[in-house]
Amino acid sequence: MRIRALALTLLVACAVAVPATAHASPSPEPVLALTTSGPVSGLREGLVNEFRGIPYAAPPVGELRWRAPRPVRPWLLPRSATAYASPCAQRAGEQQLAGSSEDCLYLNVTTPRSGPSRKPVMVWIHGGGNFQGAGSTYDPRRMAERGDVVVVTINYRVGAFGFLSHPGLEGSGTFGLQDQQAALRWVRRNAALFGGDSRNVTVFGESAGGVDICGQLTSPASNGLFDKAILQSGSCLTRVPTFATPQDGAVHLVKDDFWAPLSAREPVGVRVAEELGCGTVSCLRLLPTAKLLPYDSSFGIATGTPTLPRDPGSALRAGAFHRVPVLSGNTRDEARLTTMFVEALTGPITRERYAQLLLDTFGADAPAIERRYPADDSAAKNALTLASLDTDRVFACAQQETTRLLARRTAAYGFEFADRTAPTFSPFFTELPPGASHASELAYLFKLLDGAPYGPNLKHVELTAAQRRLGDAMIDAWTRFAHTGRPGWPKAPYVQAFGQRIEPIDATRVHKCDLWDHTPSAVVR
């Protein structure tokens, strides 16, 4: 009762509700808002109010490591919300990312100052393979202002801390997903206090964030937590892309999903525990953060769990998902990013290496695949071909099939980001042209802050005037979808391309999905 009384007093005294009019301020000013846990003091800057580093769950440290997120302890006095909280514990190269911490379950709220309250709320789930990334590297002010929406960016546990599976550990392999659900519950409870509509919440994310959202679409525990979803370069059927092992120069074109049964995940956790000298979870909970970081990519999402009772791909085919409108798409040249790393780590992709890679991966189907993606004497052309193959196999056709399956039972809309002039946040270490590579659309939706989106010391991206106009069109579509459930073009199978022109495309033809949908050796299902 004391907290509620104080909250009401602050609301009346400080008029923290979003005002009816707004004007640009020369410098940030403090602004108060209420949450169900206590008051927070953020910044009023330009046409938005920003609140950074608000806790949505208790710190998952000590005995709370590898437990479901617990409620945050309430506070009475205004809590500073002017600085971003620590990213969740993760590596930068071989070292722990500076400033990252297991105490990381925080979110950030950006809300327009002008216009009526009850604005749509958009909750961003960052990418990073579920072993790196942070909500704080995405500045959504442009989206909030232009689209008249409240934008929430969140952190969630990643790597070993978010996805460890181990026998007897309740919640194995799904702690990161549980964090996302806790953040969405926070949004339902608190949206109206920031001028948002708690009954109109759109969850959107890219790469692993899109994959996770597809998991949330099929998780019973997510029922009622969001009203719309946007999947960017991540779906219920997205595969693990090609990777390289620099130690032996090997290239691995894999066929794994992002999810696997708990029975397959737990032995990995047991092996890691043994390597660390621990036979029990209690022992693992006593280990310092740094001891677990080298295993950040060893763990993945586990199915056959209370959070994900079944594989999301099979759940989608059975129609076992939440009936909300979905906007789903990918970039034209997704895998140029991962192929660039393969080249940089293992050298040129010669004709012989390329042909052997197809044979090792697809066996008897290799000749048919090579006819559609032919080898060349030029290593540069082979790199482009391998990138095209992986774009289609791993991302685009999986995204298209996900959209088709959703469209059977709910409103689903397709898109593709196709601007091959797009700048890339990540430096390309080879001559492979970036094109519209994985994550290249993010700079059109957000201002990417230093380190965004997948690691430290990556350059900030500035858009040209033409690119900014394209970004405006994308923001308009994304936020129109948040407002109305319709982005502004027909439902799937129609696909809207955002490139030098904004126009419809035949995505299944562009990405040779007839091949990948009928090649048994191409995927594991």
Q: Any idea which residues carry the catalytic annotation?
A: 207, 334, 438
Reading the block at residue 177, the tokens are 């997903």
Which 3 state secondary structure label does DSSP give 452? coil
Distance between CA atoms of residues 220 and 455, nearest Å: 32
According to DSSP, the β-strands at 48-55 and 39-45 are antiparallel
Angle at 132 between CA 129 and CA 138, to 5 degrees: 100
Write the DSSP symbol of residue 98: T
Residues 6+ apart with CB under 8 A from 267: none
Q: Give the single-character DSSP code of 293.
A: G
What is the spatial distance between Cα 465 and Cα 481, in angstroms, rounded to a whole number?
24
3-state secondary structure 313-358: HHHHHCCCCCCCCEEEEEECCCCHHHHHHHHHHHCCCCHHHHHHHH
Cis amide leading into 288 (omega within 30): no
Question: CA 195, CA 51: separation in Å to the nearest integer?
Answer: 13
Among residues 432, 495, 496, which one has the least CA distance to residue 470? 496
Residue 32 makes CB contacts below 8 A (sequence gap 6+) with 10, 14, 16, 39, 40, 41, 42, 78
Instruction: For residue 19, give both structure tokens.
Output: 């005002």
